[in-house]
Structure 1
Amino acid sequence: MKIIDKYILRKYLTTFAVMLMLFAPIGIVIDVSEKINKMIENKIPLVDILIYYFNFTIYFTNLLFPIFLFLSVIWFTSKLANDTEIIAILSSGISFTRFLRPFIIGASIISVFILLMGFFVVPKASEGFNNFRYTYLRGDGKQAMRGDNTDVYRQVSNDEYIYVNSFDVVSKTAYNFSYEKFKKDKLEYKITASRIQWNPKTKNYTMYDYVKRTVGELDDKIEKADKKDAKFNFDLEDLTPVVYIAETLNLGKLNQFIEKEKKRGSSNINVYMVVLYKKYSIPVSAFILTIIAVAVSSMKRRGGMGLSLAIGIAVAFSFVFFDKIFGTLAEKSSFPPLLAVWFPNIVFGILAIFLLRNAKR
């Protein structure tokens, strides 16, 4: 690697890191200003708040990664152009394609980093982020995910159905639980409980205010107990809301979860597929946005860096807009998830090729 490659690569990585360190505190300050009243009202422990904002930083930077990357490349490439460094480099006989090589190396490093983060780190951060949000900010500080939008009704097999009103991921407890077992399209028995808690050590569930109604030909048999342990043919993840659980699973568990949901014929399979495909599409966008940023900002403009940054902000937000619109379209309709997730990369990839050809001229 030549000196010029090391110089550009160092600028690429350091500017991206500085951009993250600049915008992450801004995101935290905005989030604190919105939630400070709720935090004080619920008397949230300081340790929980610090852990939340650690997870929030990872979640926030992963969400807006394309904008940070694009702006950082626009920034330092425009500075190189305004200082006539790019003109000097190209005048020395280096082609524009050769000049682009350290940018591609930098994009490769960041892509691998983002890919591994998306596979293993971001899901854990997303779990902590959502745990805090649903427990303290949407709930009453004691029970997570209570409310009108928390009802979960699932078919766990051909003849088994479960329902919970809400689920606390911290204590692994579901509220207003019901379980229905059918036999040849007829209800065999139904179990209800005010709450049901998962026991990690014994790998079973404890039900409170347990009631079991077994349907008979002439009359029903009712069994009651204040507390009862039992094993069921469903996983803990089946009790959690759709999008929430998809975001909190690492790559291996997410693939297993999707396969299981496909066999069950889940109507929400598109939601899971969007989460899976984005793990691969977001790192690829690093290459596309890097090429666009270099092509846009490598020319010395009369408007200086301000014009290049304005163009960069417009392009970056357009990319995020397309990403969100088509992601939501796939989740809420029959639009193919694979096409929806990759459509922004396809459109902006074509734009990158066009701008690159013009930049070479």
Structure 2
Amino acid sequence: MLKRFLVTFFFTLLILIPIAIAIDIAEKIDNFLEHADLTFYQIVDEYYTNFIIYYANTFMPLALFIAVILFTSKLSNNTEIIAITNAKISFTRFLYPYFVGATIITMLSLLMNHFVVPSSSKIRKKFEQTYIKNRSQQNKLKFVSNFSLQLTDSTYIFIRNFNTTGNNGYDFTSEVYDGLKLKSKLASDYIKYNKKDSTFHLTNWRKRIIYKDRDSIISGNKIDTVFNFTPKDLIYQSALSQEMPSDELVKFIDISKKRGVKNLNAYLVELHKRTSLPIASYILTIIAVALAFRKRRGGTGINLAIGIGMMFIYVFLLKISEVLGAVAGVDSLLYVWIPNFLFGCIAIYLYFNARK
């Protein structure tokens, strides 16, 4: 049963992937043809290889759900389940090979979610930014405006405008506090980051140092200095979280919290989703087996229709929970797991009902 179950799962997954590729090619063929220097090998190697990795991982729960319904419905229609029941094999024991298969798929999905897919997405998104996205979309990723950041417990910076591609910006300010009291303030009209030695070049700079009884103001045309941040730290977008492996994402969230970034829920949603979605494989397996366990009038078609309908509801709830979980001030962990809690209750009800 385990072998036939896994074969059905991979067969279902292999059906879904070509459909996704065909739809994507039809949508992006014009973008590919616009670039004369873009080769077929480059499209396959940099884009569609990583496209397959991303969507294979995305479709895993759906493929698992459909595979369980198809496989179990076939057993039911062939009256094999009746023979299993007459042999005094309990429903719980009947679920054993399903759970072994779900565990294999869950472990594979966890590995891909936390490590493989983020690295793959970085290459795919870089290709999209170069050849597919228009200039207005690219500029949104390049420029940062009116950005403030807490570097340490006492140091804050503010940048009016910054170009993350050229690593340069305007109207930069760095302030150092002792509690609530300002100790020093450094301001410059222009700032440039040098990747080679990780230094910042300031132009037309002014520094004010505050003492107990007087202030000291010094200025100059150019100066090189070091700050505890890089241009990458200025970009806070949920899309970037998809490109970070989980260990890097956790480190990024911890550093951002220390720096006083107010809303990191979009990153937390991405982190929690990487675990909640694979774990849902167990819940979806129980629901699918319970739906297809008994022979129905209408056969596999009825089971499949009910299953796809429930899967649609699950995906719909998942998307809503992701949006609500990204709102500032809410518990992102709770919202991400809400679809699993709801469908877990359904799975428990169907499980006890099927045991009867």
TM beyond 0.5:
yes
Residues 358 and 189 of structure 1: CA distance in aligned 2, closer, same or farther (over 3 Å): same
Is the contact between residue 138 and residue 145 of structure 1 (CA under 8 Å) also seen in structure 2? yes
> After the TM superposition, which residues 1-361 of structure 1 pair with which residues of structure 2 at under 5 Å, given as runs?
8-43=1-36, 44-50=38-44, 51-140=46-135, 145-147=138-140, 151=144, 153-157=147-151, 158-162=155-159, 167-168=164-165, 173-174=166-167, 176=169, 179-183=172-176, 184=182, 187-190=185-188, 192-193=190-191, 196=193, 198-199=195-196, 202=197, 204=198, 211-214=203-206, 221=219, 223=221, 231-235=226-230, 237-361=232-356
Q: Which runs of 4+ in 1 moved over 6 A?
A: 216-220
Residues 73 and 46 of structure 1: CA distance in aligned 2, closer, same or farther (over 3 Å): same
Aligned identity (percent) is 36
Deviation at 1:289, TM superposition (A): 0.3
Distance in 2 between the 1:175 and 1:146 partners?
14
Deviation string 1:235-259 (CA, Å, 9 cap, x unpaired) is 4531434213322221221211111
Distance in 2 between the 1:40 and 1:249 partners?
30
Is the contact between residue 243 and residue 272 of structure 1 (CA under 8 Å) also seen in structure 2? yes
Deviation string 1:212-269 (CA, Å, 9 cap, x unpaired) is 4326799984526xxx976431145314342133222212212111111111221221
Residues 264 and 86 of structure 1: CA distance in aligned 2, closer, same or farther (over 3 Å): same
- Residue identity in the other structure for 2:123: G
Residues 175 and 309 of structure 1: CA distance in aligned 2, closer, same or farther (over 3 Å): farther
- Residue identity in the other structure for 1:223: N
Distance in 2 between the 1:131 and 1:154 partners?
26
Is the contact between residue 164 and residue 231 of structure 2 (CA under 8 Å) also seen in structure 1? no
- Residue identity in the other structure for 1:133: E
Deviation at 1:290, TM superposition (A): 0.5
Secondary structure of the 2:330 match is: coil
Unaligned runs of 5+ in 1: 1-7
Distance in 1 between the 2:340 and 2:128 partners?
31
- Residue identity in the other structure for 1:25: P
- Residue identity in the other structure for 2:241: A
Secondary structure of the 1:299 match is: coil
Distance in 2 between the 1:256 and 1:269 partners?
13
Residues 17 and 219 of structure 1: CA distance in aligned 2, closer, same or farther (over 3 Å): same
Secondary structure of the 1:265 match is: coil
- Residue identity in the other structure for 1:46: F
TM-align CA RMSD: 2.8
Unaligned runs of 5+ in 2: 177-181, 209-214
Residues 37 and 219 of structure 1: CA distance in aligned 2, closer, same or farther (over 3 Å): farther
Partner of 1:4: none
Residues 239 and 177 of structure 1: CA distance in aligned 2, closer, same or farther (over 3 Å): farther
Q: TM-score, normalised by structure 1?
A: 0.84
- Residue identity in the other structure for 1:70: F
Is the contact between residue 205 and residue 230 of structure 1 (CA under 8 Å) also seen in structure 2? yes
Larger Rg: 2
Distance in 1 between the 2:187 and 2:99 partners?
62
Deviation at 1:314, TM superposition (A): 0.7
Distance in 2 between the 1:32 and 1:11 partners?
32
